[in-house]
Amino acid sequence: MSAPAPKKKTPKKRTPTQRAADHQKAFDEFRARAHGAGVRADEDAEGYPPYIVTADQIGDGNQNDVVFAVPATLSERVELTRMISYVSRLNLATQNAEAMAVIPDILIAYSSPMDLHRILIAFDQFPDSDELLFGLAIKVIEHFGGKGVVDVPGGSNAS
């Protein structure tokens, strides 16, 4: 005759307070690991002043300025950083089709689809509208990321 199977222990259910403490402990470990690697939160991220294109500069009759600001959520900032990294590898100064495809998304990440639409309509009145769009994108990106953030290692067409 075989021995009876041992009874399985039923794990104790954790209380919400215990789960919160476990999460806090894990997050503290994540922070400590990041700090150990020299990574610090950009505490000034929300403190960046917005980049503003005034209603007068756009000249479309709308009295609202277009305001470009740092995205509020981590997922939006991660996506924006990914796009900027991609564009910087393309060399924004070359004005190639790949960069042109990403620039609207970058500008929308800093503002809104409606604001981008206003900018595109305003720029479309000029024969160098592509250059205007690239120039605005560079100004906005450098406003938040620092001068040269979109430059490609090894130089650009200007160097």
User: Over the stretch 26-80, which tens digit does the pLDDT of each residue have?
Assistant: 888 888 888 888 777 665 555 688 999 999 998 888 999 999 998 888 888 888 8
Judge whether residue 10 has pLDDT over 60: yes
CB count, 10 Å around CB of 16? 7
Contact 136, 122 (CB under 8 A): no
Could you tell me if 57 and 111 lie in one domain? yes
Could you tell me if 29 and 68 lie in one domain? no
Please tell me the total count of domains within the chain.
2
Asked if the structure places residue 72 within a domain, the reply is yes
Asked if the structure places residue 154 within a domain, the reply is no
Could you tell me if 25 and 62 lie in one domain? no
Asked if the structure places residue 3 within a domain, the reply is no
Average pLDDT of every residue of the chain: 80
What domain range is 32 assigned to?
14-43
Q: Which of 48, 7, 152 is nearest to 92 (CA)?
A: 152
Whether the model pTM is above 0.75 = no
The 8-class DSSP code of residue 68 comes to E
The Cα–Cα gap between 12 and 156 comes to: 62
In sequence order, which ranges of the chain are alpha helices (DSSP H)? 16-36, 55-58, 74-90, 97-110, 113-123, 129-145
β-strand pairing of 66-68 with 51-53: antiparallel
Find residue 53's DSSP bridge partners: 66
Using pLDDT thresholds of 50, 70 and 90, give the confidence band for residue 157.
Answer: very low
Could you tell me if 68 and 104 lie in one domain? yes
Greater model confidence, 69 or 154: 69
Could you tell me if 122 and 56 lie in one domain? yes
